[in-house]
Amino acid sequence: MDDFYRENILDHYRHPRHKGHLEDPDIHYHDVNPFCGDEITIELKVKDGRIVGVAFDGSGCAISQASASMLTEEIVGMTLDEIRKLDKDYVTELLGIPIGPVRLKCALLPLKVLKAGVWGLEEWPE
Amino acid sequence: MISATLNRKVTSMPTVTNILDDFPILHQEVHGHPLVYLDSTASSQKPVQVLEAMDHYYRTTHANVHRGIHTLSEAATTAYEDARRRVARFINAPSTKQVIFTRNTTESLNLVAYSWGRANLAPGDEVLITEMEHHSNIVPWQLICEITGATLRYVPITPQGELDYDALGQLLNERTKVFAFTAMSNVLGTINPVAELVAQAHAVGAIAVVDGAQSVPHLSTDVQALDADFLAFSSHKMLGPTGIGVLYGKKEILQAMPPFLGGGDMIREVKMSGSRWNDLPYKFEAGTPAIADAIGLGAAVDYLTQLGLDWISEYEHQIMTYAWEQLQQIEGLRILGPGPERRGGLLSFVLGDIHPHDVAAVLDMQGIAVRAGHHCAQPIHDHYHISATTRASFYIYNTTDEVDLLVTALNKAKSIFSF
């Protein structure tokens, strides 16, 4: 258990980075996980094909919210093409814990919302 | 084994130690802890008597039912129909013709909504359900109202998690053609007064459809005493296998209804110009049925009958009341729904602002299986302005020791998420 809710996950959950809203975002996207009702909104500022600003808002379990917080720390400076290539493994490595099939959806919701907002990719990341 | 339990029953109540011997799945460790299974409201575990009945059938008796002349087919037909007889007796149905095997409660309710609804609903008519329904008793009615132009109305619930009877009095009127409601809420645990609700529906000329998915496994059920027009329930919540459920209906209503699914077994005669329907209950059982599963359900019904539904509901009530008292003492924990006296054997709760998925994950790591989410009943959660709850539910194989383990694990969850 102490493996699953590792201190860095709980830290991101309790003190989420980039939580809130941007003024005048270039991209704004919201989605829910139909299995549990977790919600994530992601807002982005984009300049010359690169992400220069990010904010997220949402509610849900520690895994979904920590995943969103961690993701926002990584993606500033990435090109939109790089965002397109982010996959399931990227998120699970970021979280650094073994995740079963049900909780995987919690972990992947932020990336799903990000890719849907940027590229219109609505399917779950693989 | 249950026979030993039965012999003891003459002089004393069955003990849970005897019962536990019948459930091999419960004797395992999860994440290094003994499994504590508190998720029977979602699906119960199966005793060896059920597993053996199904295994025996497949090993010795299997063939397709009803039209075979050969020995195996006759034996399979006898076993299948014998299961129907057991189920009929279990709910005190006047006749086996009124016991239709379906896949589950959901399919039973869809059968009523589509088959009865298409023939009997029109614009201006009203369908009344309640805010405490499972999605399976909401969505079929939404769909049939869209098809027929009838209007769907909901009986609200009170802050205590009971039906709002004043509102019900207003909502039930001469336009109401059907009142469909749960006998026991799968989230709030509320036990509804089924016979009274049926009588109120009948008083305005509506039929009453009872979702018995949560009540039939736990409370003694007598469809004639309830006077219900339809009763739907699932095998897998009452110690039987998945894939088989039941729809009981009043004979004259079933006879007047068109079929639900078309195919083999449900016809009397098929011509290219059209078909004539088979007699009850076969009119509503198109295609090869879940024969082994029906036999498994028959064995589950035997098991429940031997324990006695009165003993079962009393035993669960004791555990639930104990759990209620213990959980109330956890600071920050809020239980949804009515107090123990009006409640079945389940507790849905929120623990501070810890997300139910996180609560369930922490419990799982201590071997405790609970359910987290909206439990296929989003309207209830909307009513309380919460997205999800954690639910612990109890059945014949649970103990108060397991409640103590639950309390310890919940306190652990609190300390991990320290609020």
Q: What is the pLDDT of residues B75-123, one digit of tens each?
A: 999 999 999 999 999 999 999 999 999 999 999 999 999 999 999 999 9
Both structure tokens of B377:
């009943």
Binned at pLDDT 50, 70 and 90, residue B1 comes out as very low
Binned at pLDDT 50, 70 and 90, residue B267 comes out as confident
Architecture of domain B308-416: Alpha-Beta Complex (3.90)
> Measuring CA to CA, which residue among A99, A97, A101, A17 is closest to residue A65?
A17
Binned at pLDDT 50, 70 and 90, residue A35 comes out as confident
Q: Give me the count of residues in chain B.
A: 419
User: Is the fold of B52-305 the same as that of B308-416?
Assistant: no
Window from B31-45, B203-217, B258-272 with minimum mean pLDDT: B258-272
d(CA B408, CA B389): 19
Both structure tokens of B263:
């195919």
As a whole number, mean pLDDT of residues B377-400 equals 91
The pLDDT tens digits of the residues spanning A49-83 come to: 999 999 999 999 999 999 999 999 999 999 999 99
d(CA B21, CA A12): 45
d(CA B51, CA B64): 20
Distance of CA B79 to the CA centre of its chain: 24
The CA-CA-CA angle for residues B58, B285, B92, to 5°, reads 85
Q: Is B5 helix (H, G, I), strand (E, B) or coil?
A: helix
Residues B337/B242, Cβ–Cβ less than 8 Å: no
**Is residue B6 scored above 60 in pLDDT?**
no
d(CA B50, CA B293): 9
Residues B119/B171, Cβ–Cβ less than 8 Å: no
Window from A2-6, B37-41, B206-210 with minimum mean pLDDT: A2-6
Chain B CB contacts of A1 below 8 Å: 31, 362, 365-366, 412, 416
Q: Which is more confident, B174 or B67?
A: B174
The pLDDT assigned to B273 comes to 87
CB contact under 8 A, A5 and B372: no
H helical segments located in B30-132: 48-60, 71-90, 105-111, 117-120
Binned at pLDDT 50, 70 and 90, residue B419 comes out as low
Averaged pLDDT score across all residues of chain A: 92
The pLDDT tens digits of the residues spanning B118-143 come to: 999 999 999 999 999 999 999 999 99
CB contact under 8 A, B373 and A62: no
Contact residues, B window 16-45, toward A, CB-based 8 Å cutoff: 31
Architecture of domain A7-119: Alpha-Beta Complex (3.90)
Binned at pLDDT 50, 70 and 90, residue B379 comes out as confident
H helical segments located in B91-212: 105-111, 117-120, 139-148, 165-171, 194-203
CB contact under 8 A, A59 and B362: no
Best B31, B354, B358, B389 residue to mutate vs chain A (most A CBs within 10 Å): B358
Q: Which residues contact B38 (CB under 8 A, 6 or more apart)?
A: B368, B369, B370, B392, B393, B394, B398, B402, B406
Query: How many CB atoms neighbour CB B142 within 10 A?
Result: 14
d(CA B40, CA B50): 16
The letter for the amino acid at B230 is F
Q: Which residues of B are catalytic?
A: 376
Bridge partners (DSSP) of residue B361 are none
> Measuring CA to CA, which residue among B233, B221, B227 is closest to residue B201?
B227
The residue extents of the domains of chain B are 52-305, 308-416
Q: What is the CA radius of gyration of chain A?
A: 13
The letter for the amino acid at B136 is S
CB contact under 8 A, B372 and A1: no
Counting Cα atoms < 13 Å in the Cβ hemisphere of B48 gives 12
H helical segments located in B161-290: 165-171, 194-203, 223-226, 251-256
Query: How many CB atoms neighbour CB B32 within 10 A?
Result: 8
> Measuring CA to CA, which residue among B417, B356, B408, B361 is closest to residue B386?
B356
A25 touching chain B per CB within 8 A? no
As a whole number, mean pLDDT of residues B316-329 equals 97
Averaged pLDDT score across all residues of chain B: 94
As a whole number, mean pLDDT of residues B14-26 equals 89
The pLDDT assigned to A2 comes to 57
**Is residue B12 scored above 70 in pLDDT?**
no
CB contact under 8 A, B366 and A5: no
d(CA B85, CA B330): 47
Q: Are strands B29-30 and A50-59 parallel, antiparallel or unpaired?
A: unpaired
Class of domain B52-305: alpha beta
B410 touching chain A per CB within 8 A? no
Contact residues, A window 31-60, toward B, CB-based 8 Å cutoff: 35-38, 59-60
Binned at pLDDT 50, 70 and 90, residue B374 comes out as confident
Query: How many CB atoms neighbour CB B323 within 10 A?
Result: 26
The pLDDT tens digits of the residues spanning B236-252 come to: 999 999 999 999 999 99
Chain B CB contacts of A10 below 8 Å: 416-417
The pLDDT tens digits of the residues spanning B340-368 come to: 999 999 999 999 999 999 999 999 999 99
Share of chain B above pLDDT 90, in %: 86
The pLDDT assigned to B383 comes to 86
B372 touching chain A per CB within 8 A? yes
Window from B152-161, B186-195, B274-283 with minimum mean pLDDT: B274-283
CB contact under 8 A, B416 and A10: yes
The letter for the amino acid at A77 is G
The residue extents of the domains of chain A are 7-119
DSSP letter (8 states) at residue B136: G
d(CA B295, CA B198): 31
